[in-house]
Amino acid sequence: MQRVGLAAFTLPFTLALTLAASGCAHRRAIPDDDAAIPDDALVLEVDNHNWSDVLIWIQHDGQRSRFITVNAAKSTTEPIPAYMVSSDGTLSLIAHRIGGGNDYYYSPKVSVRTGYTVRFTLEDNLQRSSVGVW
């Protein structure tokens, strides 16, 4: 029986390990949020003053669509897709604090169109939250 040296296994093993590690390690460019949103888009700006993550839904044409999650004490800006605007050009926002039981905020209907910005400010007590459009 022939004895195979350790070096015969080390080189292929090292090569395979290096290839596997290099395949998993890649760099992704960090997207520039301002460049990703066109100037004429309908935009939702959310400023979360709540200590919890908050789920945001958009109510349109009688249905509710989950839109985004905003992390605690953070802000975000997202374009609103055209299909999330009612046929009459309105929408409502609904906020729910994750782990908040029945703690919801229902905004009044707001009239929107492309190029508008909807500003949604979430307070620690969701009932004091506000929506503005410009």
List, for residues 36-88, the tens digit of each pLDDT value. Answer: 677 789 999 999 999 999 999 999 999 999 999 999 999 999 999 999 999 99
| 73 within 8 A of 49, measured Cβ to Cβ | yes
- Using a 10 angstrom Cβ sphere, with 0-12 exposed, 13-18 middle and 19 or more buried, the burial of residue 65 is middle
Q: Give 64 or 26, the one with higher predicted confidence.
A: 64
State the pTM of this model.
0.71
Domains of the chain: 38-133 (2.60.40.2890)
Q: Give 29 or 44, the one with higher predicted confidence.
A: 44
Q: Is the pLDDT of residue 117 over 80?
A: yes
Confidence at 114, pLDDT banded by 50, 70, 90: very high
Structure tokens at 85: 């605007």
The mean pLDDT of 78-99, rounded to a whole number, is: 95
3-state SS class at 49? coil
